[in-house]
């Protein structure tokens, strides 16, 4: 297939993606068609794998894993203070900074349409003790005019703490140039309340709850059948998710600091505020409850246990579905860029590696196993990367017009 250059129009958000499309012959852009057979939802019972995963907790594997998932754990901080510079340098050589290698990243997009995928917690918002307080911003209304990306870039480069509304304005600016999706383990409605940008695609519950742009501006540019159409491959599990949520809330009441969150198609048990001495008891409690539900599986993320349906669907499948929906299925003239910080984002990084196409960026200050190609240390660097991408795209369009 011959590759053609893609000139990104002035207004190319998620809602305007229909104006861009894929230059591949025969490709028509209709967001949210039924999924292709190749990525059809396969409802397999993973009970055997689940029991193997849960059994690891009996050998203390869960507690060690919980320690590893804590970015501020005392032992991790002590190890860094003692000096693991050599290990960190080796890891950075394998996963260099996306800011330091920015020219290499954008060079890969030559003649291709960039599509942005962003995790939320730990990527657009810092990890906080109270999951309900993980606000990206609290001061900007939807009607607020975007700030200049150049001004935002200047302020972000100073390495001062993020000011209110800056990250939201950065994401809004990116969405004006590239189709953009938020892919999170949180409930989709809750993520929208945090982000408050109607022009984006939202994939909540680890991609099991997907919805397109819903703003008037977006709806005006969308095909008639795409008025924020939903895709929910795990709908049949909703009653079971409610049951396990109630059971976990009841079972963990005696463990101070434990917080159970209903994310619609999955349940999260946060242990950010649980004393480390109680981690073993919490892991055993969660494990015992989940064993009552053989069609649900237990996994672990960053300071959180996740209980999900046993369907073969994750953030990687959501990425493929969204690319398909945007008209980029089996197309070489697209560059997906996925930025995330959690273990669940590894599913998306692996998809990009398998496709041999795209840029995976892990957000982490500490070395960890990952399938991502590049790294960023914290949300402030994510914002700087997004703004540099917007400024690079603006300058590229200016050069093309000259």
**pLDDT digit string, tens, across residues 239-290:** 999 999 999 999 999 999 999 999 999 999 999 999 999 999 999 999 999 9
- Mean pLDDT, residues 89-109: 95
Is 301 among the domain residues?
A: no
Question: Is residue 252 one of the residues assigned to a domain?
Answer: no
- Co-location of 177 and 68 in the same domain: no
> What's this model's pTM, rounded to 2 decimal places?
0.76
Percent of the chain's residues with pLDDT above 70: 68
Q: Encoding tokens for residue 155?
A: 């302020």
First to last CA, the chain: 29
Last residue of a domain, one of 38, 64, 94: 94
User: Does 224 share its domain with 324?
Assistant: yes
Whether residues 155 and 224 share a domain: the answer is: yes
What region does 21 belong to: left with phi over 0, alpha with psi -120 to 50, or beta? left
- Domain co-membership, 347 together with 207: yes
Q: Would you call 93 helix, strand, or coil by DSSP?
A: helix
Q: What is the CA radius of gyration of the chain?
A: 21
Q: Name the band, by pLDDT with cuts 50, 70 and 90, for residue 130.
A: confident
- pLDDT class for 164, splitting at 50, 70, 90? very low
Counting the structural domains of the chain, the total is 2
Other CB atoms closer than 10 Å to residue 308's CB: what's the count?
24
The confidence band for 133, taking pLDDT boundaries of 50, 70 and 90, is: confident
- Answer yes or no: is 374 within a domain: yes
Instruction: Say if 229 falls within a structural domain.
Output: yes
pLDDT of residue 68: 65
Considering the domain architecture, whether residues 163 and 36 belong to the same structural domain is answered as no
Q: State yes or no: pLDDT of 341 exceeds 70.
A: yes
* Average pLDDT taken over every residue of the chain: 78
35, 70, 94 - which closes a domain:
94
Assigned domain for 137 exists: yes
Tell whether 112 and 190 lie within a shared domain. Answer: yes
Which residues span the domain enclosing 123?
102-233+313-401
Interval 105-126 mean pLDDT: 94
- Of 60, 94, 128, the last residue of a domain is 94
Average pLDDT over residues 24-40: 37
Q: How far apart are CA 80 and CA 226, in angstroms?
A: 50
For residue 372, the surrounding DSSP H or E stretch is none
User: From CA 213, how far away is CA 15, in angstroms rounded?
Assistant: 6
Percent of the chain with pLDDT over 90: 59
**Nearest residue to 18 via CA among 219, 231, 232, 203:** 219
Among 112, 114, 105, 178, smallest CA distance to 333 is for 112
Determine the pLDDT at residue 306.
95
Whether residue 173 lies inside any domain: the answer is yes
With a CB cutoff of 8 Å and minimum separation 6, the contacts of 205 are 185, 186, 187, 188, 234, 263, 264, 265, 266, 308
Is position 147 within any domain?
yes
- Are residues 219 and 334 both part of a single domain? yes
| Residues 116 and 201 both lie in one domain | yes
Same-domain status, 84 and 17: yes
Is 387 contained in some domain?
yes
Task: Mark whether 73 and 129 lie in a shared domain.
Answer: no
Convert the pLDDT of each residue in 191-232 to its tens digit: 999 999 999 999 999 999 999 986 443 444 444 444 565 799
Same domain? 150 vs 15: no
CATH number for the domain including 214?
Answer: 3.40.50.1000
Same domain, 108 and 48: no
What's phi and psi for 388, nearest 5 deg?
A: -65, -35
């Amino acid at each position: 297939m011959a590759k053609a250059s893609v000139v990104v129009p002035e207004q190319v958000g998620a809602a305007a993606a229909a104006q861009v499309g894929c230059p591949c012959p025969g490709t028509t852009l209709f967001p949210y068609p039924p999924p292709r057979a190749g990525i059809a939802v396969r409802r397999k019972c993973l009970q055997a794998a689940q029991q193997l995963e849960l059994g690891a907790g009996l050998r203390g594997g869960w507690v060690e894993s919980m320690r590893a998932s804590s970015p501020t754990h005392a032992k991790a901080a002590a190890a860094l203070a003692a000096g693991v510079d050599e290990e960190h340098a080796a890891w950075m050589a394998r996963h260099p900074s996306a800011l330091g290698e920015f020219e290499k990243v954008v060079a890969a997009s030559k003649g291709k349409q960039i599509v942005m995928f962003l995790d939320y917690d730990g990527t657009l918002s810092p990890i906080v003790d109270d999951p309900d307080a993980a606000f990206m911003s609290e001061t900007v209304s939807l009607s607020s005019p975007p700030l200049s990306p150049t001004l935002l870039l200047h302020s972000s480069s100073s390495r001062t703490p993020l000011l209110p509304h800056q990250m939201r304005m950065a994401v809004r600016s990116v969405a004006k140039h590239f189709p953009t999706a938020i892919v999170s383990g949180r409930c989709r409605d809750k993520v929208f309340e945090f982000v408050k940008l109607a022009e984006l695609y939202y994939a909540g519950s680890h991609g099991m709850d997907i919805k397109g742009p819903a703003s008037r501006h977006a709806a005006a540019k969308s095909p008639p059948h795409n008025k924020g159409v939903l895709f929910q491959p795990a709908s049949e599990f909703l009653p079971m998710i409610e049951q396990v949520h109630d059971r976990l809330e009841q079972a963990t009441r005696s463990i101070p600091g434990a917080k159970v969150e209903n994310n619609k198609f999955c349940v999260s048990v946060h242990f950010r505020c649980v004393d480390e001495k109680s981690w073993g008891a919490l892991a055993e409690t969660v494990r015992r409850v989940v064993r009552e539900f053989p069609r649900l599986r237990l996994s672990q993320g960053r300071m959180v246990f996740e209980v999900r349906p046993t369907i073969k669907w994750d953030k990687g499948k959501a990425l493929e579905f969204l690319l398909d929906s945007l008209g980029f299925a089996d197309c070489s003239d697209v560059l997906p860029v996925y930025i995330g910080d959690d273990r669940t984002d590894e599913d998306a990084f692996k998809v990009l590696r398998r496709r041999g196409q795209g840029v995976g960026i892990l957000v982490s200050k500490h070395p960890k196993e990952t399938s991502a190609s590049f790294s960023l240390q914290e949300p402030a660097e994510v914002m700087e990367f997004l703004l540099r991408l917007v400024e690079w795209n603006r300058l590229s369009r200016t050069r093309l017009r000259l």
